[in-house]
Structures are given as C-alpha cells and as structure tokens.
Amino acid sequence: MRRSDRLQFRALRRAARGTLLLFAAGVAAVAVSACGTEGIQLAKSNPYYKGAKIFLEHCSGCHSLAIVGAEGSATSVQDRVKTNAPDFNYRKEDVQQVLYALRDGGFSGEIMPENVVVGKEAQEVAEFIAKYSGRKAEKEPGQPGFRPVE
Ligand code: HEC
C-alpha cells in the first residue's frame, strides 16, 4: 500500500467509526426515550416477571400499567377516541377476564386484536394482570375505570 493510500484508508476508517458511534448513540437515545417507559419494576426472579415482559411487549401500546411503566391508555378526553383501552392501574381484572378478552379481542371486539398472545403466554400475562391491576383504584375513586377492589 502506498503512503497516500494508507492515509486515505485511515481517514475512511475514522469516518466509519464516527458514523458507528453516532448510530450507537441514536439507538441508545431511542431505547431510553421509548414511550417514557421506565421498565419493569419487578425483580427478574419475581414469578410474575415473565408476564410483565409479555405485557410490555404486546399490551403496553394500548393499556396503561405503572408497574411496567406502560402508558398506552388514553389519558385525556381528547386522546380518548384513539383506542380507549382500559387503564389497568384503575381497572381490576381477574385471570378469566383477561383470558376472555385475549381470546375475543377485548369485550367489545372492536379495537383490540384477537389472540395477541395465546397459550402459556396468555396465561402468564393474565396472571400478571390479575395480580397487579387495579392498584390505584382503591386510593383514587372518581378516576376513569374505577371499580372498588373486592
Ligand atoms: C391495539 C390496542 C390494544 C392492544 C395491543 C391490546 N389491547 Fe386490550 N383492549 C383494547 C381496547 C380498545 C379495549 C376496550 C374495548 C374492548 O373491550 O374491546 C381492550 C380491552 C381489554 C380487556 C378488557 C378490559 C375490561 O375490563 O373491559 C382486557 C383484559 C385486555 N384488553 C387485555 C389486553 C392484554 C392482556 C393485551 C396484551 C396481550 C392487550 N389487551 C392488548 C386495546 C388493546
């Protein structure tokens, strides 16, 4: 390799490295800012962790639940027409209700897709929701979806 070639090669390599760094920084920024997600606030060893992960991946775009940092539900009246998916911070669900909604695509069958998750995953996410949904309901009656926790 001639000296001028080598210099050119080095410059190219430096440019490539710069681009890569920029790219990596971009990816990191997106990961951090994704939907204001704070992530799952459960230990990995928690038996409900897997369900929480499934929820975050498949349900958090439409439903809210603070324990996984999900803010998918409409929070203002203006947004409400978008999906109007129940906010699980306030709405208490049991396992059967979730499984039913998953099979039929929500109770109304209009917006929520059917069979978003099935089988074992459906069971896991249902148990997770049954355990952690409705936690704010007791404290804040008058909120949308309020249902007293039995
Ligand atoms: C594309 C948006 C969307 C996604 C994704 C979605 N849902 Fe829904 N879901 C809705 C909407 C809208 C409703 C309310 C209307 C209805 O019941 O059809 C609903 C209703 C429900 C209900 C019934 C709540 C009640 O008490 O009326 C449950 C339970 C539920 N969803 C669970 C889930 C689970 C679990 C997932 C992920 C595996 C999920 N949803 C993914 C939009 C969504």
Domain boundaries in the chain?
A: 3-36, 49-132
What spacing in Å lies between the alpha carbon of 1 and ligand 1's midpoint? 63
What spacing in Å lies between the alpha carbon of 30 and ligand 1's midpoint? 26
Q: Which of 27-31, 58-62, 87-91 has the lowest mean pLDDT?
A: 27-31
The residue whose CA is least distant from atom 5 of ligand 1 is 59
Give the residue among 97, 38, 43 at the shortest CA–CA distance from 71.
Answer: 38
Identify the pLDDT of residue 110.
75
Q: CA 90 to CA 21: how far, in whole Å?
A: 42
* Share of residues in the chain with pLDDT > 90 (%): 39
The residue whose CA is least distant from atom 41 of ligand 1 is 59
Superfamily of domain 49-132: Cytochrome c-like domain (1.10.760.10)
The ligand 1 site (C-beta within 6 Å) comprises: 58-59, 61-63, 83-86, 91, 93, 97-98, 101-102, 106-113, 116-117, 125, 129
For the chain, what is the mean pLDDT? 77
Identify the pLDDT of residue 144.
58
Q: How confident is the model at residue 32 (pLDDT cuts 50, 70, 90)?
A: very low
Give residues with Cβ within 8 angstroms of 93, minimum separation 6: 101, 126, 129, 130, 133, 134
Give the model confidence (pLDDT) of 35-88 as tens digits.
Answer: 444 589 999 999 999 999 999 999 998 899 999 988 877 655 555 545 678 899
User: What mean pLDDT do residues 126-142 have?
Assistant: 82
Which atom number of ligand 1 is nearest to the Cα of residue 109?
A: 18
Identify the pLDDT of residue 104.
84
What spacing in Å lies between the alpha carbon of 11 and ligand 1's midpoint? 53
What spacing in Å lies between the alpha carbon of 37 and ligand 1's midpoint? 19
The whole model's pTM is what?
0.70
- DSSP per-residue string spanning the chain: --HHHHHHHHHHHHHHHHHHHHHHHHHHHHHHHGGG-----S-TTSTTHHHHHHHHHHTTTT-EEGGGTEE-S--STTGGGS-----TTT----HHHHHHHHHHTTTT-SSSPTTSS-HHHHHHHHHHHHHHTTTTTTT-TTSTT-----
